[in-house]
């Protein structure tokens, strides 16, 4: 299914093998910082769950799960002292953090067969109003699969306990997601469904993959 672009490194992988490799990369990324321990695994599980609930096909669900596993791959390029900074980030540090989604795109687009996965993974910080990054896409430029991963990313980050704060509860997460919809950041239909099924989504976000 996927292969490296360079002929001398051509290795074909089917979706199950690609998922196994993606889990390894996700664990490496998540272990890079104590602030995001197992974040990618939670995003992947919630992304797949949402895809299944919205009736997307099995192959699409597999790919969305892989996109969730790989969405923060670009953070491997960010210095540990920036990722682990407990205080407020300065302008340069914030810019460096934000660049990770572009790095994810650059890494994944070099692999033949991952075109859709690379978009769904790398665009998770894009917003419907065009204020996101790295490409400031908006509206119909953002596929439904991308919007699912974006909601899953925000949800998991809020639910997860971090060294500098407690995890948010379901009511707090719902309030934040609804505010983001009002500001045209997240897909309203996905957030509306999540708001009705908060406890199930909460369990998926924090019940990490084996």
| Contact criterion met (CB below 8 Å) for 145 and 135 | no
Separation between Cα atoms, residue 181 and residue 189, nearest integer Å? 9
Pick the catalytic residue: 3, 32, 63, 75? Answer: 75
| Contact criterion met (CB below 8 Å) for 78 and 65 | no
Separation between Cα atoms, residue 66 and residue 40, nearest integer Å? 10
The number of angstroms, rounded, from the C-alpha of 203 to the middle of its chain's C-alpha atoms is: 17
Annotated active-site residue 75? The verdict is: yes
Q: What are phi and psi of 162, to 5 degrees?
A: -115, 160
**CA distances (Å), origin 207, targets 5, 13, 42, 70:** 35, 27, 7, 18
Helix, coil or strand: residue 107: helix
Which residues belong to the active site?
A: 75
């Amino acid at each position: 299914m996927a292969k490296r672009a360079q002929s001398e490194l051509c290795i074909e992988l089917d979706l199950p093998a690609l998922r196994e490799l993606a889990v390894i990369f996700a664990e490496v990324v998540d272990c890079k910082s104590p602030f995001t321990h197992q974040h990618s695994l939670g995003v992947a599980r919630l992304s797949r769950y949402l895809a299944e609930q919205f009736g997307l096909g099995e192959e699409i669900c597999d790919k969305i799960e892989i996109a969730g596993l790989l969405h923060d791959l670009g953070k491997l390029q960010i210095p540990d002292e920036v990722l682990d900074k407990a205080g407020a980030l300065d302008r340069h540090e914030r810019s460096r953090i934000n660049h990770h989604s572009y790095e994810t795109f650059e890494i994944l687009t070099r692999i033949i067969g991952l075109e859709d996965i690379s978009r769904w993974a790398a665009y998770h910080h894009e917003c419907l109003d065009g204020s996101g990054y790295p490409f400031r896409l908006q509206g119909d430029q953002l596929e439904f699969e991308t919007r699912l991963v974006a909601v899953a990313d925000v949800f998991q980050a809020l639910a997860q306990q971090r060294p500098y704060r407690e995890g948010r509860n379901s009511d707090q997460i719902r309030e934040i997601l609804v505010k983001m919809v009002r500001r045209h950041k997240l897909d309203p239909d996905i957030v509306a469904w999540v708001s009705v099924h908060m406890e199930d989504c909460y369990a998926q976000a924090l019940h990490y993959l084996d």
